[in-house]
Structure formats: C-alpha cells, structure tokens
Amino acid sequence: MDPAEVEFLAEKELVKIVPNFTQDKIFLIGGDIGPFSPSLPVSVPLWMAVNLKQGQKCRLVPPDWMDVEKLKDKKQEEMDSKFFTAMPSDQYMEVTQLILKSATDDIPHADEIRTLVKDIWDLRIAKLRSSIDTFVRSDATHAKLNHLTLMELNTVRPFLTQALDHMHVLRNNISGRIQSTQD
Amino acid sequence: MSELEEFGDESSEEVEVLTAAEVLSKLEQAWADEKFAPDLLEAKTDLVECMLEQINEMEENIQRAKRGDFKVSLHRMEIDRIRYLLSSYLRCRLMKIEKHTTHILEQEQMRKEEENSRLSPEEYTFAKEYQASMEGHFKNIALRHMPPNLQSLDPKQTAVRPNLDSYVFLRVAEDTQGVLVEEETVDTGEEIVDLEKGDQHIMRYRPVVPLVASGAVTLI
C-alpha cells in the first residue's frame, strides 16, 4: 500500500476544531457534522479540519495525546518495554504529520512534539526490525503483531512478505512438496 | 445522510439495513481486503452501487444549492474522496482480472449453481473480452508463425495463477478458534492458533481464505 493511501485512511480520523463561523449541521454521506458556531469546539474528520484550517476558518485543537508530557511518558514506556506498547492513536504518525504540516501555529511546542513522535517512531521501527530478525531466524510460520499501526506495518510489508513467501517455497521444496508459483 | 438505506444481501433472505456511513466503512474494508488479498474476492456490487447512488443524489443536491454556499465545497471534497475510493477499488479488481484472466474464468466455469459469482456481470464481460483479445493478439503476432505442433497455448501451463501461500497481515474481527496455520509434515507438527478479536497477525493467506470471505478477519 502506498503511504499516501495510509494517510488517506487516517484522514477520516475525528479531530476537534474551534470554528470561527456559523453553520448548521452538514449532512455528509459519511455522517452528520456540526452544527458549527464560533468558539464552540466540534468534532470533524481530519480532512475537513485541514481544509478549514487552510481557509483560516478554524483553529485546531490538538488530540489529548499530542502533549509533550504524555509523549515523554509514552517514549519512556516504549523504551522500558520489550514488546510494543499500545499507541494512543492507531494513526499517530499520520495524524501528527498532517496536523503539524497544516496547523503548526495551533499546537503548543510543535517542534518538541515532532521530535518526540519521531523518537517513538524510531524506537518502534528498531524494535520491529529486531523482532523480524528473531521471527525469521526462528523459522516460525506466523506471528502476532498486536499494537503495531498500519503505517509501521506498511514500512516492512514489501520486504517481509516477499522474504516469507520465498522461505515458504524453499521449505516446501525441502520437504519434497513441489509447487509451482508464478507470483 | 441520516436516512437509512435499504441494502439487500442476495444470498440470504433477510434484508440488512445500513446507514450510508456504514456502507462507506464496509466499502473501505472491501477496498483494503481487495488490495492485500492475492486472489480476486467476491465483488461487492451492492456496496458500490449504493455509494454511487449516494454520490449522484448528493450531486443533484449540490446543483440545487445556492452558488458560493460554503457547504458545497465540503460536500464536493467528500464526494471526491468517495469517488477515489470507488475507482481505486474497481481498478484494483481489474488489475487482478487482467493478471489472472484464465484462472478466474476457469473458476467461474467450475462455480456451482448455489455459489455467488466473484465477478460482477460487467467484470465478467471484461474478462471474456480481454481473454479473447489477448489470445487473438498472441495468434496474430507469434503463434501462427510457429511450427504447426506449437501453435496452441495450453492454459494449464500458461495461465498465471494467484499465489495463495503468500503472506498477509490481518486483524481479527470475530473470535475464531483453532485455525490450522501449518499442516503436519514429516519434521514439524501441525500448528493451530486461536484468533482473538482485535489481534493482529501475519500468516499465509491460504488458511484464512474462508475467514476473509466471511469477514471474520480483515486484511491490513
């Protein structure tokens, strides 16, 4: 899957905005949104929030987890744990990217948050790499991947799935089952 | 849209009633499943048509709306997003049909009366025509210049088939006990896993084929 497609999926995540305009409820196909009134926070999909922000029609409210203290704790937890910890959002990376790109001025300590999220991402990817190494060496045929997010899986998808496909073919050839694969 | 959509499932008698938003999220799931599954899944014609209807209706509403109305641009954006989803889904299916034409048509022929076809009627026509043109093309370009004993293509040898043993990532939507991941072989015992709701796994596609079809697991 293309990273842009992963981002596309993340764009339907709901975020809170504070609009500066008045508007009745909007009946979208994906659900009702609104009503909007100035300085009253309202939940909208991220794609809409980004669009409104670009038109300077609203102020973005950062999600609860997008907070320096909380992210520091999360980073520590991720460092201390041998396993992957549950992330506050399944699309933390994409949401951070999108929000920080379009609404840096609405997020307090934006730079620090960017660095922290990147640190957490790096920690998790390093963990993912080393667990893939163990997984492949152990000759296992399946693995449980709880708490990994779609974006993280996506970065290892092409390599990991193909390597495992090849290993499966090799294993079957050893055990004498001949197979024809054309993919 | 707040009103309810009637949504008929042809295989069963009961009629599911879904809101447009639910249809949309089902379609998103179908899109992801289709993207990651190595073989062609059953066509979700009902979902596609329902969404198309919604889009058309919404476009008519937009036509009637006042010019410069702020709402219109938001509705447009949503329509664009859904349209992208729809075309990406359909395009993904067409790519699979082009790649595995012979295999898919063979499956279609062997299909029993009571089974649902995996292809929508339009996709079936496309597959037929695509196969005919490819064969015609091969004949014109190369085969007729070959020695007489080599002038035919044997589908058994030439057909490209999906590799059902390829690895996929999946998320469990319904608890499923005792999925046989690996059959017993000489040197290894059989491997069985229990899938718990919410878990994510990586494994070969073959053991989970029926679960993907029933929606008990979703591909990610």
Mean pLDDT of the A83-97 span: 93
Q: What is the pLDDT of residue A66?
A: 94
Contacts of B47 in chain A (CB under 8 A): none
Q: Is domain A3-174 given the CATH code 1.20.58.1020 in the classification?
A: yes
Residue ranges of the domains in chain B? 4-161, 163-220
d(CA A137, CA B141): 48
Average per-residue pLDDT in chain B?
Answer: 86
Which of B36, B165, B202, B217 to mutate against chain A (most A CBs within 10 Å)? B202
Contact B202 A160 (CB under 8 A): yes
DSSP string for A24-80: --EEETTEEE--B-TT--EEEEHHHHHHHHHTT-EEEEPPTT-SHHHHHHHHHHHHH
Tokens of B59: 């476009």
Is a pLDDT exceeding 50 seen at residue B12? no
Contact B163 A27 (CB under 8 A): no
Give me the sign of the Cα torsion angle B210, B213, B214, B220: positive
d(CA B89, CA B35): 8
User: Are the C-beta atoms of A106 and A56 separated by less than 8 Å?
Assistant: no
Secondary structure (3-state) at B89: helix
Q: Which CATH class is domain B4-161?
A: mainly alpha
In one-letter notation, the amino acid at residue B55 is I
User: Are the C-beta atoms of A182 and B161 separated by less than 8 Å?
Assistant: yes
Q: What is the pLDDT of residue B7?
A: 46
Mean pLDDT of the B69-80 span: 89
ω into A35 cis (within 30 of 0): yes
* Least trusted range by pLDDT, from A35-39, A137-141, A164-168, B213-217: A137-141
Contacts of A179 in chain B (CB under 8 A): 165
Q: What is the ipTM of this complex?
A: 0.86
Is a pLDDT exceeding 90 seen at residue A34? no
Contacts of B32 in chain A (CB under 8 A): 1, 9
Q: What is the pLDDT of residue B33?
A: 94
Is a pLDDT exceeding 50 seen at residue B10? no
Helix, strand, coil percent values for chain A (each to nearest 5): 55, 15, 35
Contact A1 B28 (CB under 8 A): no
d(CA B167, CA B201): 10
Tokens of A106: 């609405």
Is a pLDDT exceeding 50 seen at residue B43? yes
Residue B64 — very low, low, confident or very high, per pLDDT cuts 50/70/90? confident
Q: How far is CA B69 from CA A47, B58, B73, in A?
A: 19, 14, 8
Domains B4-161 and B163-220 share a fold: no
Contact B166 A144 (CB under 8 A): no
Tell me the residue length of chain A. 183
Q: What is the pLDDT of residue B183?
A: 67
Is a pLDDT exceeding 50 seen at residue B146? yes
pLDDT in tens, B87-136: 999 999 999 999 999 999 998 988 887 788 899 999 999 999 999 999 99
Contact A48 B84 (CB under 8 A): no
Q: What is the pLDDT of residue B3?
A: 43
Under CATH, which architecture does the B163-220 domain have?
A: 3-Layer(aba) Sandwich (3.40)
Show the CA angle centred on residue B32, arms to residues B27 and B37, nearest 5°. Answer: 125
Tokens of B149: 């004993």
pLDDT in tens, A8-29: 999 999 999 999 999 999 999 9
Show the CA angle centred on residue B92, arms to residues A154 and B58, nearest 5°. Answer: 100
d(CA A93, CA A96): 5
User: Are the C-beta atoms of B11 and A17 separated by less than 8 Å?
Assistant: no
Q: What is the pLDDT of residue B158?
A: 82
pLDDT in tens, A110-150: 999 999 999 999 999 999 999 999 998 887 888 888 999 99
Q: What is the pLDDT of residue B191?
A: 78
Give the H/E segment covering residue A18. Answer: strand A14-19
Tell which residue, B186, B182, B187, has the closest CA to residue B203.
B182
Any residues with CB less than 8 A from the CB of B219 and at least 6 apart, and which?
B32, B33, B35, B36, B37, B168, B169, B170, B171, B212
Tell which residue, A38, A124, A7, A109, has the closest CA to residue A75.
A124
Is a pLDDT exceeding 70 seen at residue A160? yes
